Amino acid sequence: MDAALLPLLAALAAEDRRKPLVEAQLTVLEAALLLARAAEAETRQPPADCLELLTGALGSVRAAVHATSHALIRTRDGLRRPHPSS
């Protein structure tokens, strides 16, 4: 799982994280990586390690929700403003 997501993370990391949609994409991928690592850690590592990974994943999901909400608001605001070419 990690190997499949790493190229996506690398490509998005080159983007501007100040853009809400880019931030949302990155944080969703981070959450996916952390959840995959937590699943592996569940059988191989102490519960505290798994707990730390799950906590990090939850934080990433919260950040993704916030960034997506921000992107939605900006897009809606853009629809309300008259387009310069109109």
What's the pLDDT at 2?
A: 66
Average pLDDT of the chain is 87
Asked if pLDDT for residue 39 goes beyond 70, the answer is yes
Average pLDDT over residues 65-74: 96
Asked if pLDDT for residue 38 goes beyond 90, the answer is yes
Q: How far is CA 25 from CA 17, 38, 70, in A?
A: 10, 20, 13
Asked if pLDDT for residue 1 goes beyond 60, the answer is no
Rg of the chain over all Cα atoms, to the nearest angstrom: 17
Average pLDDT over residues 41-49: 89
Global confidence as pTM: 0.77
